[in-house]
Amino acid sequence: MSPVRIAVFGAGAWGTALALAFCAKHRVVLWGRDPEHMRTLAESRSNARYLPGVPLPGELELTADFGAAAREADLHLVVTPLAGLRAAVNDLHRFQPGTPLIWACKGLEAGTGKLPHEIVADALGPDAACGVLTGPSFAAEVARAMPTAVTLAATDPAFAKHWGQTLHQPRFRIYANSDLPGAEIGAAVKNVLAIAAGVSDGMGFGLNARAALITRGLAEIARLAEALGGRAETLMGLAGMGDLILTCTGDLSRNRRVGLALAQGKTLNEILGELGHVAEGVPTAREVVKLAARHDVRMPLCEAVDALLHSPRLGPREVVEQLLSREPKHE
């Protein structure tokens, strides 16, 4: 595949990691909204705030000029937190409409409960050339070129195949998939379940409990995905099981760290202040529970996480006791 020009929007850990992954083969510009931060990156050739110890190569362009980054790009790659996706897509449509778009945002939009592809459709219409990049991938490992495999899901299989092949790297393998809702539900709900896994581990419940939580959590993800038109087999792959296992067990997971801190008795405000990064599972928990209720899908683990995060009367032990007191059912 010939090199292309990729504009990456979002200079956090994940955006920087993806820019590094692609700049060895393609021409990449990385945009960040904070001009001072981008000047610091350009002068130090490192992103010490989000990816300490990882050098930024000279060929990676850095800018705080959104329009300059958007123009002349062959591909727009949005790697902002989900809360910034709608504004970013609207701005991209204004600066350079029709450019192929991929996003790496995970979650459900606060207030609307919409998945990322629904947010994109609001701005660009249902037939836009677009897709989501998702799967088991910690930014720190991708930035250091450690072997990783992810999914590129799009409604148009040709789009997923073309851009999957274009962006594919020897140590960053990309598998094409045509199940957009399934891939996005897997990406969103696993963050909520990672909080539950952190609580379980933080309370010393052991490896058996963690395995049960991951397995039953995967069943919850699959039920919701199928209710939204997703395919069960998608959840058995990288976008489902792979991402869930990594996020529930890996110490680099911000959502798992939220759960560990909750188990220590810290308040949510304390935890988020100390974290310094977005933990998408926190706002997503409430939206997942509301979405599941609209589709009459049972998700007791996600409901427990939502109660723990948003009910001041319930602590980790009370939430766990409520879960354990539920009537056993056929698996």
- Give the phi and the psi of residue 169 in degrees, each rounded to 5: -125, 155
- Candidates 190, 266, 290, 329; catalytic one: 190
Distance CA 104, CA 135 (A): 10
Answer yes or no: are the C-beta atoms of 70 and 77 closer than 8 Å: no
The amino acid that residue 64 corresponds to is A
Q: Is 290 a catalytic residue?
A: no
What is the chain's length? 331
Class of residue 324 by CB neighbours under 10 A (exposed 0-12, middle 13-18, buried 19+): exposed
| C-alpha–C-alpha distance, residues 48 and 236, integer Å | 36
Which two tokens mark 50?
Answer: 């989000």
Q: What share of the chain is helix, strand, coil (3-state, %, to 5)?
A: 55, 15, 35
Hey, which residues are catalytic here? 190
